[in-house]
Amino acid sequence: MVTAGVLTEFYEWVTVLDRDSPSAPGDYRRGAPQGRHAHGLMPRGAQLLEEVFPGLLAEMAADGAVRAEMLVGHRFRVGGDELPQVATGLRSVQATLPFHEEHLRRRLLERDGVQFMPGVDVVGLVADDASATGIAGVRIILREPGSTEETIAADLVVDAMGRSGRTPYWLEQLGYDRPPEERLTVDVAYASRVVRLTPEGAECVRHLVGGDAKGVSRGILMHAVEGGRHVVTVTGSGSDNSPPVDETGFTDFLSTVAPPDVFQAVMAAESVEPISAYRFPTAIWRRYDKLDRFPTGLIVTGEALCSLSPLFAQGMTAAALEAAALRSCLTGGRHDLPRRFFREAARVVAAPWRMGIGANTSERHPRTATRLQAALMGRIMAAATRDAVVATQLVRVLILLDPPTALMRPRVLWSALTKGARVTDSVVPPPSSQVTAAGPDVV
């Protein structure tokens, strides 16, 4: 939707197709099952949404989203130690995914020329017979009994169909190569529930509780969200650490990752929704930027382009950064748009992708560079629990505000050396990742 917002600046008509039908405000959609789990919008992403939809953040806050300053009011643990609560001036948006979507959709629909078509399955691309090198639209089937295939013509088709997007297959059908893929085994399971804390519980939890448990690949991310509620998400990597979804199992798991007072606060809370589960096996980066031949009139963005490890909470911000890249490409004209866009989008994606690789601790045969990177990150994380400057720099990198090379500044490295005695082998978040394609260059 943020991409659609950008497109309205350059195209007369923008049509958003989705197989889901509109749900009641706040309802979860079948097409976005991850929406039941904690979804924070990082400050950089929030700032970009505001640029596309001026006034959006104030509207979200007025409707109950929590605008929390990073680190302030955060209880974020690394290997059992909490990061210092220092002012950063960076405010995220804490709300559920349906809330984010609803507000974007509303703002988008206010624009001239925007049309939403829900209940539509996109089933293929339409080749442009005139140019023989382009895409001229999509093939669709309405999700209604007796529907037959139709086409929708478009000057530009944007695949934002999430990680299940079928563009690689459709390209192959049209005689193009599939994009090469980089994959990173993350193997993380999520379990979440929404609760309403007592006033004392809310005081203890503050805005956010996060981080990993000591010595085990388990984590917690607990957010204050709209409606005075909190989303309690627990995560675990590997088969031994899958969080159960039954009451007793979930509670037992929570007790291993939550600080004791937070655990008590959740126990005393009212449960608003049942426990739900999600499994994320592999991060995937489809390298459209590496293809020699690509049709005109088509681009791919969001999770369909790069599905990042969800543990870093960067997906929505990455999608917003890609939308900003698209805007800058379109400002320069439509000539050679896919190639120019994919090159810019690859720059956007490279940093969070490499962070995911840097979090890798259980690769069977890690490259030396990967091992060194993980060791250095371990020391930086440890130093961050003891040094406010390092904590702030680390957060700025994790939220995609600064490049990973900012962690190579002498001030950070000195602190890593002198204060970074290892508290944990993993970085936060702690996925048991495996690199299966290209390796990292920097942290």
Ligand X SMILES: Cc1cc2nc3c(=O)[nH]c(=O)nc-3n(C[C@H](O)[C@H](O)[C@H](O)COP(=O)(O)OP(=O)(O)OC[C@H]3O[C@@H](n4cnc5c(N)ncnc54)[C@H](O)[C@@H]3O)c2cc1C
Q: Give me the residues that bind ligand X (CB under 6 A), please.
A: 17-20, 31-32, 34, 37-41, 120-122, 160-162, 164, 190, 278, 280, 302-304, 310, 313-317, 319
Sign, CA torsion 290/295/296/299: negative
Q: Tell me whether residue 53 or residue 190 sits nearer to ligand X (CB atom).
A: 190
Whole-number minimum distance, CB 13 to ligand X, in Å? 18
Q: Tell me whether residue 28 or residue 278 sits nearer to ligand X (CB atom).
A: 278
Q: Tell me whether residue 190 or residue 353 sits nearer to ligand X (CB atom).
A: 190
Q: Tell me whether residue 157 or residue 161 sits nearer to ligand X (CB atom).
A: 161
Tell me which H or E stretch contains 66.
strand 66-69
Whole-number minimum distance, CB 316 to ligand X, in Å? 3
Distance of CA 380 to the CA centre of its chain: 23
Whole-number minimum distance, CB 40 to ligand X, in Å? 5
Whole-number minimum distance, CB 204 to ligand X, in Å? 22
CA dihedral 269, 221, 319, 12 (to 10 degrees): 10
Whole-number minimum distance, CB 383 to ligand X, in Å? 25
Q: To which residue do tokens 């599939």 refer?
A: 178
Query: Which residues, 6+ apart, have CB-to-CB distance to 388 below 8 Å?
Result: 84, 86
**What is residue 197's DSSP assignment?**
-
Do the bridges between strand 218-225 and strand 208-212 make them parallel or antiparallel, or are there none, so unpaired?
antiparallel
| b/e map 198-220, b = 16+ CB within 10 Å | eeebbebbbbbbbbbbeebbbbb
Nearest Cα neighbor of 391 from 364, 412, 418, 370 is 412
Question: Are the CB atoms for 163 and 176 separated by under 8 Å?
Answer: no
Q: Tell me whether residue 245 or residue 388 sits nearer to ligand X (CB atom).
A: 245
Whole-number minimum distance, CB 165 to ligand X, in Å? 6
Q: Tell me whether residue 233 or residue 426 sits nearer to ligand X (CB atom).
A: 233
Whole-number minimum distance, CB 162 to ligand X, in Å? 3
Q: Tell me whether residue 317 or residue 434 sits nearer to ligand X (CB atom).
A: 317
Whole-number minimum distance, CB 321 to ligand X, in Å? 11
Query: Which residues, 6+ apart, have CB-to-CB distance to 438 below 8 Å?
Result: 182
Q: Tell me whether residue 76 or residue 379 sits nearer to ligand X (CB atom).
A: 76
Question: Are the CB atoms for 134 and 295 separated by under 8 Å?
Answer: yes
Whole-number minimum distance, CB 439 to ligand X, in Å? 24
Q: Which two three-digit tokens encode residue 335?
A: 């000539």
Q: Tell me whether residue 310 or residue 420 sits nearer to ligand X (CB atom).
A: 310
Q: What angle do CA 218, 357, 181 make, to 5 degrees?
A: 115
Whole-number minimum distance, CB 415 to ligand X, in Å? 28
How far is residue 46's CA from residue 92's CA, in Å, rounded to a whole number?
Answer: 7
Question: Are the CB atoms for 85 and 77 separated by under 8 Å?
Answer: no
> What SS3 class is residue 425?
coil
Q: Which two three-digit tokens encode residue 276?
A: 């739900």
CB-side exposure of 196: number of CA atoms within 13 Å? 6
How far is residue 391's CA from residue 369's CA, in Å, rounded to a whole number?
Answer: 24
Q: Tell me whether residue 98 or residue 378 sits nearer to ligand X (CB atom).
A: 98
> What SS3 class is residue 126?
strand
